[in-house]
Amino acid sequence: MVANPMQKRARNAFLLGMVITLIVCIIIGVLLYFLLVGKSIGNKERGELVTAYVLNQDVKSGDIITPSLFKKIEVYESMVPSNYIDSTKVASMQEEYVAKVDMYQNSIVTADTMSKSDQVTTADTRYVEYNMLSLPTNIAAGDYIDIRLTLSNGQDLIVVSKKEIKSILGNTIGLELSEGDILMMESAIVEAYIMPSSKLYAIQYVEPGNQTAASKTYTPTTAVQNLIAANGNIKDEAKSALQSRFDQNMRGYIDGEKRAYSADSQTNLETGIQQEIENARAAREAYLSGLTSY
């Protein structure tokens, strides 16, 4: 029986529609497959979502790092370094830490970028100012310094090490020092006054976050050593640490240098102290003048 042309066209249209529908379904299936597989692979590569921390402001090398500087973020594990700081680490930060390098706002905080601070505030820590030091031209508040005493024979002795400059006004700098360091500084200052050819000066750290404090090599006078031993404001362990590094041979070298000034020592000392007082007065007047100018 010969098919009706209309029926034949309808059947062909139906078959064509079925083929097109099948092709479309295959294409959609392939696309869905690759989409799901690609998403699965992508999730596997990115890993799980984890909690990390970024800085909410810029910090300089040597700055104190506290949890208040952190901002919590959720991020895929593959997008952060393996040593990122997590919430457990942040919760356990009981000690002070310092930045080892300069870091910028929104930088992810990692274990390698900070270390425990050696600038621990103790019960005998006090704020003190000095105006008799030779300072570098580009020194600024926030820099870390050693204070050294250079003798006329070329010996260079470290009096205090790695202290942050808390303030600076002209030639006057403010530091936070322990009782032991204050006594060491007073001893070195007096000796620098007695020996005009000596130099008491500050020198900066380049990367304070990465650089450890230099070992102190200055040995104070016998009178100051005895004062340290009898000073009740200095803890016993701090006394032991100070006394264990005192080098009596070095003390002998310094005393030998001072003998060259024995005839003028009192005059030199009085002149130095008077100059210190005048410098302190001028710095105070400059400070007060700055307050009244606002």
pLDDT tens, the chain, 294 aa long: 555 666 667 676 777 777 788 888 888 878 777 776 665 555 556 678 888 888 999 988 878 888 888 888 888 887 778 788 888 778 777 667 888 888 889 888 888 788 776 666 677 889 999 999 999 999 999 899 999 999 988 899 999 999 999 999 989 999 999 999 999 999 999 999 999 999 999 999 998 888 888 999 999 998 899 888 888 888 777 778 888 888 888 899 899 888 999 888 899 888 988 988 888 888 888 878 877 665
CATH topology of domain 49-116: Type Iii Antifreeze Protein Isoform Hplc 12 (3.90.1210)
DSSP state of 79: G
For 158, other C-beta atoms within 10 Å of its C-beta total 19
Delimit the domains of the chain by residue range: 49-116, 126-292
pLDDT at residue 44, as a whole number: 55
Q: Which amino acid is at 248?
A: Q
Q: Where are the alpha helices (DSSP H) in 73-166?
A: 87-91
d(CA 245, CA 217): 8
Residue 115 bridge partners (DSSP): 98
In the numeric block, the tokens 């998403």 are attached to 39
Closest CA to 61 of 85, 111, 110, 97: 97
Are residues 96 and 209 in contact, defined by beta-carbon separation less than 8 angstroms? no
Query: Phi and psi of 146, rounded to 5°?
Result: -100, 150
Residues 6+ apart with CB under 8 A from 93: 66, 67
DSSP state of 25: H
Residues 6+ apart with CB under 8 A from 143: 164, 165, 204, 205, 208
Closest CA to 270 of 204, 180, 183, 196: 196
Radius of gyration of the chain (CA): 35
Are residues 61 and 209 in contact, defined by beta-carbon separation less than 8 angstroms? yes
pLDDT at residue 198, as a whole number: 93
Question: Structure pTM?
Answer: 0.66
DSSP state of 77: G
pLDDT at residue 159, as a whole number: 96
Are residues 86 and 51 in contact, defined by beta-carbon separation less than 8 angstroms? yes
d(CA 114, CA 117): 9
Are residues 190 and 224 in contact, defined by beta-carbon separation less than 8 angstroms? no
Q: How far is CA 35 from CA 22, 41, 177, 227, 246, in A?
A: 20, 10, 64, 79, 73
In the numeric block, the tokens 């200055």 are attached to 218
